[in-house]
Structure 1
Amino acid sequence: MNEASTEKADNEKFCADCGEIINIKAEICPKCGVRQMIAPNSFAYTAPNGKSKIAAALLAFFLGGFGVHHFYLGNVGLGILYLLFCWTFIPAFVSLIEFILLLVMTDDRFNEKYGQIDQ
């Protein structure tokens, strides 16, 4: 293997599995067929179970008083509790705090807490 073949351009990256040089926007490596991971701290990031941190935060902000974000994240019990007490506006205040916490939460922490695939 010669030295020039291991140098990549600005619009290229190495495949996470086989190390082949591929286009930086490639979702799947054309050589080995392995799906490439999205860069951390990307707004397009989704957890392995398909849940999005940004979607959960937006649901907490706009519909948090009704617990919609908890239903989305799989916390049905908390969602029902928010629905039962939505007339007190307490869930609305709590959901604003949860909105901020979801925005500042790292992707790894979000995966630990909400990204597990149910079986």
Structure 2
Amino acid sequence: MSSFAMKSENEKFCTECAAVIRKAAEICPKCGVRQFGAPGGLGAVAPNGKSRLAAALLAIFLGGFGAHRFYLGQTGLGVVYLLFFWTFIPTVVAFIDFIVLITMTDDAFAAKYGSAT
């Protein structure tokens, strides 16, 4: 089985099994799970279950401690944030991460953070 599934512009990934399905599909034909989330909304979920909304909220509220980096599977960066949180530099960087996360498209989020870990 290939680790990367290619999809066209009118397709999306199933929120449960990550199969490529039609963008307008309400139910995945492979696993039968109902697809939720408005296209372009922050509630979209990557194939590995990571939520862009959760990552953005962690970045804005606990980003100085690197919580969003731990959530997204970037443990090394999370530790760096923890080591330097007292300088408030990670807080500024986390605010920038928040802006990036809320402006990122669902496809870009899934491509960058959506791999199964």
**Structure 2 length as normaliser, TM-score?**
0.70
SS state at 1:85 partner: helix
Structure 2 CA distance for partners of 1:57 and 1:33, relative to 1, 3 Å? closer
**Which residue is equivalent to 1:41?**
40
- Indicate the RMSD between aligned Cα atoms, in angstroms: 2.5
Please give the alpha-carbon distance, in whole angstroms, between the structure 2 residues aligned to 1:107 and 1:46.
8
- Identity of counterpart residues, as a percentage? 53
Runs of at least 5 residues in structure 1 that lack an aligned partner in the other structure: 1-15, 18-23
| Structure 2: gaps (5+ residues) | 1-20
Distance 2:51 2:112 in 1: 12
Query: 1:44 deviation in Å?
Result: 2.7
Report what 1:117 is aligned to: 116
Q: What is the rounded CA distance, in whole Å, between the counterparts of 1:83 and 1:48 in structure 2?
A: 28
Equivalent in the alignment of 1:74: 73
TM-score by length of 1: 0.69
Q: Distance in 1 between matches of 2:50 and 2:79?
A: 20
Q: Do 2:43 and 2:52's aligned partners in 1 also have CA atoms closer than 8 Å?
A: no
**Largest Rg, 1 or 2:** 1
Tell me the CA shift for residue 45 of structure 1.
1.2
Amino acid at match of 1:35: V
- What corresponds to 1:107 in structure 2? 106
Which residue matches 1:61? Answer: 60
